[in-house]
Amino acid sequence: MDEKKLIDGLKKKKVWAYEVLYDEYAPRLGSVVKSYLGYDDVEDVIQEVFIKVFKNVRKFRGDAKLSTWLYRIAVNVCKDTLVKRKRNNEFLTDFRESEDKVAFEPPATTNVFREVMDEISFEELMSVVERLAEDDRLLIKLRDIDDLSYEEIADILDKPVGTVKSRLHYARKRLKELLEEVGYIG
């Protein structure tokens, strides 16, 4: 659907527009939330995001893409959730616990991905990935998985592009070091 028409519908508080928005963006938003928070709270965060969209869509001027704006809301809600979670002394979700609940995407398409997937077990890699900080995981997810530009990521995180680049550099380096520690990268 045309994004402009969708935004008009959202601003006029049409339920069909929210249905379209849900169908189109809920999986992507859920994916970002999962990379940041783990499996817990994903549904709550998505509902909260939609409530925030409903309340604030009139403020959306269309300077950024709708998806960028939605990602930004989702990230902010995630941050709030994380603060609440830490305040309540909750533990971060174990990625392994959620594994059986995860609906997997179709297998990776490139040959390289298929090749490497045969060699290393998913569980072993997840134990490495979950050792990354939430912010690092999110940056890697947005850049290396969702393939967003540095500018879009900067918009989402409300940080300068330079900061995003340096933080992503650090996140990738950290992941590489963790993989080296366990011997996946020599």
Q: Which of residues 110-149 bind another protein (CB under 8 A)?
A: 112-113, 115-117, 119-120, 122, 125-126, 128-129, 137, 140-141, 143-145
Residues contacting another protein: total by CB under 8 A: 57
Print the binding letters for residues 55-94 with another protein: x by CB under 8 A, - otherwise: x---------------------------------------
Closest CA to 156 of 68, 26, 46: 68
Contact call for residue 97 and another protein (CB under 8 A): no
Determine, following the binding rule CB under 8 A, whether residue 158 of this chain makes contact with another protein: no
Nearer to another protein, 12 or 65 (CB): 12
| Site membership for another protein, residue 15 (CB under 8 A) | yes
Q: Which residues bind another protein (CB under 8 A)?
A: 13, 15, 18-19, 22-23, 26-27, 30-35, 42-43, 46-47, 50-51, 54-55, 95, 98-99, 102-105, 108, 112-113, 115-117, 119-120, 122, 125-126, 128-129, 137, 140-141, 143-145, 169, 172-173, 175-176, 179, 184-186
